[in-house]
Each structure stands twice: as structure tokens, then as C-alpha cells.
Structure 1
Amino acid sequence: MANWIDISQPLTNDMAHWPGDTPFRYSLTYSKVETGSVNIGQMTASLHTGTHVDAPFHYDSNGKTIDQLNLDRYIGEAIVVDVSQSNVINLEVLKQADLRGCKRVLLKTSLTNDPKRFPDTMPSIAPEIAAYLQEKGVTLLGVDIPSVDQADSKDLETHHALYRHGINILENIMLDHVNPGLYELIALPLAIQGADGSPVRAVIKPLSEKERTDR
């Protein structure tokens, strides 16, 4: 039986964060010596720390919050697609991939996974792919970069294009150690009431053609 593969960034005090956003910090509030029974920790972080899900409320004040999202989109069959041959992931690049009718697509880009460094540049995801993915029945797009838009973008064209075409967003997954192919995905966001996003523990498990049971 295949083992689960962790594709999420570990949460560490020296991990990179979006410039200007709240960095991740974990510390002990009380030690076992102090309480006599247990260690109790605390953390502070942006909801877009490391591997995370964007809720539509992140870029649309009238959009759904993280606790209102359909969890089925974050569990089930997914396909890892290698698009590392291009720094611009557009329709031409994506049409070369066999999406095999998968509802969840995870893009392995040319950016090397490095959780401790925020990238100076990263591959761009063209807004035009949103309509194509919708035609293919895709409802979740995962990327191994911090955002589906460039770091200096203010209009967030690709976020909005995916939103208009009913596609949810999973960002900052780690795929350097993962081969292209079919997998079972679990990447559940936390039920944080009213929130614009959530860190996730994203894991995948290889699937054979016989095991394909997409939901």
C-alpha cells in the first residue's frame, strides 16, 4: 500500500512569509515545569502562511469565507502536471497536459521549493487558463508557488479569473519530490469563521488507473 506524501511546507520560525505580512511564530506559553502537567504552545501567523487555501473573501469582499467553502474540492483524485518547461503557464502549455478528467490539478512549476526564502521572481499563471480548466471540469487548482498572481499584482487577474470560473485555489504546495501522475489529495482548510484563508496540511497518495474513483 502506498504511503501518503506530505506536500505542505513545514511551519517553522525561520520560514519565509509574504513581504509585509505577519510571519509565523511558535513559542511555549507555559512549560511543563511551570504547569506541573503539560506544555502549552501558542502561534501567530498570517492565514496565508506556507501551504494554504485562499477563500474568495481574500480578493472579493462579498465572496465566501473559508468556513463556507465546499470541502469536497479539497479531498479526492488529483493530477500533478509538470509545467516546469515554461515560466509562463498559459493555454498553450496547459493544453499539452493530459488532465484525464481530474477535478483537481496541481501544477509543478520551474520554481525550486524553498520554504525559507520568498522568491524574487516566480512563474506566472495566465488568467486565460481558467476558462479552459472549467471546460475540463476542474474545480481546484494547486500551485507550488506563493500565489497564482505575481507578488506585485494589485488587480489579481488570475485569482479573479479562477473565481469567475468556479475554481478554488491552493497555493505554496511542495512538488519537487513528486512525480507527475494521479494521486489522492487531502488538503483541508481549518474552519475559521469569517476568515479569508487558512494554512493546510496537504498530502497526496499515488493512485493506479484501477483505483480511479473521482468524486
Structure 2
Amino acid sequence: MTWIDISQPMNERIATWPEDTPFSYRRAVTKEESGSVNIGDITMSVHTGTHIDAPFHFDDEGKRVLDLDVNVYIGRAEVVDCRGYTSIGPEAFEGIDLSGIGRVLVKTDASTDPADFPVEAPYLTPELAPFLEERDIRLIGVDVPSVDPMESETLEAHHALFAHGVHILENAVLADIEPGTYELCALPLALEEADGSPVRAVLKQVGKE
């Protein structure tokens, strides 16, 4: 099986947090002007589309993107069906074997339109963080803009997850992904001082070529 793209397409229709910089691409230099190439510029928030958070996002003393271990973002991942849940805690994982997995992607019934920025969305409870740590989960991904409630200013799930060694991937596109075990690659850019980074996230079903 080939790799499956689970990234939101980057274009000027993509929704952003209300106070963030909207995404924009423009040709700063055209082939006609240069005689050889087109050259583009982009402006955007690092939390646009499918992205990872670094602890510096919510902690002035936290690690930046370049400080994070890239191995966290590559490897075995379990897609877990959490549709129907408003808040997602340990009970959503009853009966799911996470041994030897390392990464979890949470599929919800949130909107699948990247241009639709939700007022409300399913969120993770802080109690999920120690549950994941006990099972050696190093990364959790969600298909919504935040692991916390959309209106949260305290970001309790963000703090709890990183306190328990669990990294964060947000806005993955999982609507057409069946629950099960996959290989994940969702590498952040090598941004030295950044609090987050866009990623090109892809999955491949385990055991298939």
C-alpha cells in the first residue's frame, strides 16, 4: 500500500485561529521576470493546518521545535475511533491494545472541511496524559485544531501531555482513515526558535506494501 496523505492542503481558504496570521502564497518573482524560475513567498502562523506543537507554545521555558526528537514523529501509530465523544479520556481506549505502538491518532466526528474553523470540538482530558505515558505513547494526534477545548486559555491538556512525555500533533485529516495500525511520518521543519511547525503527515497501513 502507498502512503496516505493526512495533511490539510495549504491554500488561502484554510481556516486559522482568529488572531493568527492567515495563510498566503504569492509569486515574488516570475519566470518572465527572472528569465529562468518562479520564486514564491509564504506567510502563515506555524499553527496553520496540520502541525505539531512544541512546549514553547505554552511555556516560555519550554523546548522549541528544533529541540524536539524527530524520532517521535516517525513510527508505529494506532488510529483510534473516538467518534461520539465530546471529551476524550482513558475510557475511550478501553479494549485497545497499545503495546508496542508508541503513537496514537484520535479520529473524531468533527468537521472535515479545512475551511471550517470550529467553535466547539472534541478535546482531550488531562487524565489521558498519565494513561498514555504508562503505555509508552510518545505522540498523540487529533483531527481538530487543539487538544484542549477551543475556548481554553489554561491549556490543561497541552501541559499535562508534555509533562508526561507525550508530544502533540493537531489538525490531522482522518475522516477516511479506518481504525487500525499504521506507520506514521509527520516531521516538523527544523525551525530553531519556533513554538510549532507545519508538517506533511502521511500514513501507511502496517503489513501492506
Q: Is the 8 A contact 1:105 1:142 kept in 2?
A: yes
% identity of equivalent residues? 53
Shift of 1:20: 1.1
Partner of 2:26: 27
Partner of 2:169, secondary structure, is strand
Structure 2 counterpart of 1:177: 176
When the two structures are superposed, what TM-score results if normalisation uses the length of structure 2? 0.97
For residues 59-86 of structure 1, give each alpha carbon's deviation from its aligned partner in whole angstroms, at most 9, with x where no partner exists.
Answer: 1111110001001000011110000031
2:200 match: secondary structure:
coil
**Is residue 133 of structure 2 the alignment partner of residue 127 of structure 1?**
no
Q: Could you list the runs of 5+ residues in structure 1 that have no partner in the other structure?
A: none
SS at match of 2:26: strand
Alignment of 1:62-81 (within 5 A): 62-81=61-80
C-alpha separation in 1, matches of 2:96 and 2:37:
51
Please report how far the alpha carbon of residue 150 of structure 1 lies from its aligned counterpart in structure 2 after TM superposition. Answer: 1.5
Distance, in Å, in 2 between the alignment partners of 1:87 and 1:94 is: 14
Structure 2 counterpart of 1:146, which letter?
P
Secondary structure, counterpart of 1:33 in structure 2: helix
Deviation per CA, 1:133-167, whole angstroms, max 9, x where unpaired?
00011000000010001221111000000011000
The whole-number CA distance in structure 2 between the counterparts of 1:107 and 1:3 is: 21
2:14 counterpart letter in structure 1: M
Structure 2 SS opposite 1:148: coil
> Distance between the aligned counterparts of 1:119 and 1:97, measured in 2?
28
Q: Which 5+ residue runs of structure 2 have no aligned equivalent?
A: none
1:82 equivalent in alignment to 2:81: yes
Instruction: Check the 8 A contact 1:87/1:110 in 2, yes or no.
Output: no
Look up the match of 2:4.
Answer: 5
Q: Give the distance between the partners of 1:128 and 1:95, measured in 2 at CA.
A: 14
1:186-209: CA deviations, max 9, x gaps?
A: 00000011110100000000003x
**1:149 aligned to 2:148?**
yes
Which range moved further: 134-143 or 110-119?
A: 110-119
CA distance in 2, matches of 1:118, 1:36: 41
Contact in 1 for aligned 2:111/2:118 (Cα 8 Å) = no
1:93 paired residue number: 92
1:94 Cα deviation from its structure 2 partner: 2.2
Q: Is the 8 A contact 1:127 1:162 kept in 2?
A: yes
Residues of 1 paired with 2:26 and 2:62: CA distance? 33
Residue-by-residue CA offset, 1:26-75 (whole Å, 9 max, x unaligned)? 01001111111110000000000100010011111111100010010000
Q: Which residue number corresponds to residue 36 of structure 2?
A: 37
Aligned residue type for 1:94: F
Question: Counterpart of 1:108?
Answer: 107
4+ residue runs over 4 A deviation:
none
Paired with 1:181 and 1:112, the residues of 2 have a C-alpha distance of 21
Cα separation, 2, equivalents of 1:71 and 1:203 = 15
Corresponding residue for 2:205? 206
